[in-house]
Chain A
Amino acid sequence: MGAARTLSARGIVAPVPLLLTVDNLTVTLPTAQGRRAALRGVSFTLDRGATLGLVGESGCGKSLTALALMGLLPDGAAVTGSVRFDGRELTTLDDEAMGALRGNRLGMVFQEPMTALNPVHRIGDQIAESLRLHKQMNAAAARAEALRLLERVQLPRARERLDAYPHELSGGQRQRVVIAIALACGPDLLIADEPTTALDATIQREVLDLLDELRRDSGLALLLISHNLDVIAARAERMAVMYGGQIIESGPTREVFERRAHPYTRGLFAARPALGLRRGTRLATIRGRVPALHEMPHGCAFAERCDLVVAACRAAPPGEQAVSSTHAVRCIRWREEVA
């Protein structure tokens, strides 16, 4: 992998680098027990116009992955491995160069729109800020562009809303403003970390429709982080499941949903209530809990909770195994079914 082949204008086959290639990304954090790895060799690729869904439970490393890509890791974090974005290595960029990319070619949308917006500034000014900074627009041009963006994200009565403060908007409207800010400079990659979790179901759908539309129209690449498997199934062609700071299964979403190669993926799916279950059904649960950073075992991080565990699982970290040409799993027992 690493390069997709496409026809150039002259009809000559030439390799075009993928927009984003994350290779063996490792992040260590200082803890009370010493330095510990919170991301342990994360690798994935994402191309223009595509959506990759990243799923997993609290503490598995989803948000840390997003922060690492954005260069927003906490103080004391150390990064190894590689993040190549449009041909440039991001892990070695200095703060200034990273700052020029962030909010410009890399956009991010967080879960809670109220924390992403500044409560004392009008929303029009907050959108214009990055346009003036990154695109050197004057105030009038930035304001006009802010209005166009608010219309683009379908904020009702956009012209009046330019001068509104965040508290005057509903949750769904605020998230649209946050998306407008993230999109202001026409980013190539948008990282959306639980973008609709705080929103009502009907508004969730509208916001996800909007992201889909932007992806189709402008070739935006979307890294969609969610704990909600239904959202991933509805919106991402490819997905990756994280556990213990690693991607433990990845592939086309439909294949992952239908094959469920990793025992943790199976556990997640079984625990999820689905419409139509008989009343009073007890859901399957995953015993035990996620190991803390300082308890991370030498072998498979899921071994203590796994019904298929054998001695070899604890002896060495499982390498990546191919389920198909496009579907990979980190489990030496993936061919086994639970009795």
Chain B
Amino acid sequence: MTALMEVTALTRRYPLPRPHPLAKASTLTALDDVSFTLDAGSTLGIVGESGSGKSTLARLVMALETPSSGSVVFEGRDLHQLSRDELRAARRDFQMVFQDPYSSLDPRMRVARTVAEPLEQLEHRPAAERRERAAAMLDAVGLNAATDLDKYPHEFSGGQRQRIAIARALVTQPKLIVADEPVSALDVSVQAQVLNLMQDLQERFGLAYLFISHDLAVVDLVCDELIVLQHGRIVERGPTDTVLNAPRHAYTRRLIDAVPRPLWQP
């Protein structure tokens, strides 16, 4: 396998408000010296609790925010050194899926437009062709292109909306999808459908996932490797089975112990 993305010594600090005007300015280090490699077609899980830096990492990897130091090299190019035009062109290869399918879709936009929108930025193709691509993506995520293209988001359930968000992420044929808690807001039966879909799409299109989740059972199912973040630092990493079955760091053990166990011995 070849490295699709190499993250090196990635750090992000945020200035904190001064308690009074003469106070010394202090900073919060949201992400601290994080390095990892993500192979093409593989899934890397990021686990940790609120405030651990998971979402900051996602925004830096997606080049939605600039790091204080460190680099994100995607297919040989440092994303944070690219010009605006180069970055816009590069975005076709990495897309993002968010947690809440209710707030991540524009309620006033029909599905055809929502799904095809990432293409508008990239290629000046006729509208009919964009619509065709949107239809193909809806089919790929198990929705019905014939009936669903002209509907609005409110006409769909939560699980169907997350499928639309995934179709939108897929439309540029990316190599990487950054998924930030993609199934956390979904009911169990719908969550199963979306997890199966993400795995099917990975096999079909050779996608790599950076999969952010607080749910250990979910990352156990879909991730090849895991990174455990605490206070912005990597405290443990390794193959998923190793990390979950033989955790070495106390924080990882605490996360595993917090998974509810039945009142009876099964």
Instruction: Decide: B189 and A282 in contact? CB cutoff 8 A.
Output: no
**How many cross-chain pairs have Cβ atoms below 8 Å apart between A and B?**
105
Q: Which of B187, B193, B214, B223 contacts A200 (CB 8 A)?
A: B214
- Shortest Cβ distance from residue B186 to the other chain A in the assembled complex, whole angstroms: 9
Is B258 an interface residue when CB atoms closer than 8 A count as contact?
yes
Residue B260 is within 8 A (CB to CB) of chain A in the complex: yes
The answer to whether A233 touches B259, judged by C-beta atoms less than 8 angstroms apart, is: no
In the complex, what residue of chain B is closest to A199 when comparing beta carbons? B50
Asked if A200 and B260 sit within 8 Å, CB to CB, the answer is no
Q: For A277, what are the chain B residues with a Cβ–Cβ distance below 8 Å?
A: 217, 220-221
Cβ proximity bits B207-247 to A, threshold 8 Å, 1 near / 0 not: 00000001111101111100000000000000011001000
Q: Which residues of A contact B264 (CB under 8 A)?
A: 254
Task: Report how far A234 CA is from B264 CA in the complex, Å.
Answer: 8
Q: With A and B bound together, what is the CA distance between A202 and B259 in angstroms? A: 8
Query: In the complex, what's the smallest C-beta–C-beta distance from B250 to chain A, in angstroms?
Result: 12
**A57→B187 contact, CB < 8 A:** yes
Say yes or no: A273 contacts B221, CB within 8 Å. Answer: yes
* Chain B positions 155 through 188: 1 when the CB is less than 8 Å from some CB of chain A, otherwise 0: 0011000000000000000000000000000011
Least CB distance from B103 to A in Å reads: 14
Which residue of chain B lies nearest to A208 when distances are taken between CB atoms in the complex? B260
Q: Which B residues lie within 8 Å of A208 (CB)?
A: 260
CA of A6 to CA of B264, assembled, Å = 26
The one of B49, B191, B258, B260 that contacts A235, using a Cβ cutoff of 8 Å: B260
Name the residue of chain B whose CB is nearest to the CB of A231. B260
Are A202 and B189 neighbours in the complex by a CB distance under 8 Å? no
Asked if A171 and B187 sit within 8 Å, CB to CB, the answer is: no
Are B188 and A275 within 8 A (Cβ)?
A: no
Q: Which residues of A contact B189 (CB under 8 A)?
A: 57, 267-268, 271, 285-286
Contacts of A165 in B (CB 8 A): none
Q: Closest Cβ of chain A: how far from B36's Cβ, in Å?
A: 19
Proximity bits, A273-287, B CB within 8 Å = 1, else 0: 111110111111110
Chain A contacts for B15, CB-based, 8 A: none
Residues from 44 to 74 in B contacting A, C-beta threshold 8 Å: 49-50
Q: Is the CB of A253 within 8 A of B263?
A: yes
> Shortest Cβ distance from A62 into chain B, in angstroms?
11
A152 close to B (CB within 8 Å): no
**A271 to B196 CA separation, bound complex (whole angstroms):** 10
Contact B254 A202 (CB under 8 A): yes
B188 touches A281 (CB 8 A): no
Interface residue A157 (Cβ < 8 Å from any Cβ of B): no
**Is B8 positioned at the interface, with any CB of A under 8 Å from its CB?**
no
Q: Would you call A234 and B261 a contact (CB within 8 A)?
A: yes
- Whether A254 touches B221, Cβ cut-off 8 Å, given contacts A271-B188, A280-B199, is no
Bound CA span A69–B157, Å: 28
Q: Looking at B190, B199, B257, B260, which has the most chain A CB atoms within 10 Å of its CB?
A: B260
Cα A280 to Cα B196 with chains together (Å): 8
Contact present for B220 and A202 (CB under 8 Å): no
Residue of B nearest to A171 (CB): B50
Encoded as 1 (CB less than 8 Å from any B CB) or 0, chain A from 256 to 277 comes to 0100000000011001111111
| Contact of B262 with A234 in the complex, beta carbons under 8 Å | yes
Shortest CB-to-CB span from B18 to chain A, Å, is: 17
**What residues on B are CB-neighbors of A154 within 8 Å?**
none
A-B interface, 9 closest residue pairs, ranked by CB to CB distance from nearest? A234-B260, A283-B192, A271-B192, A200-B49, A201-B258, A57-B187, A233-B262, A230-B260, A273-B217
Residue pairs across A and B with Cβ atoms less than 8 A apart, 18 shown, are A57-B189, A200-B49, A202-B49, A204-B258, A204-B260, A230-B261, A230-B262, A253-B263, A254-B264, A267-B189, A271-B188, A271-B189, A272-B188, A277-B221, A279-B221, A282-B196, A282-B199, A285-B189
List 10 other contacts, CB 8 Å, given A57-B189, A228-B260, A279-B223. Answer: A57-B190, A58-B187, A227-B187, A233-B263, A235-B263, A254-B263, A268-B189, A271-B191, A277-B220, A279-B222
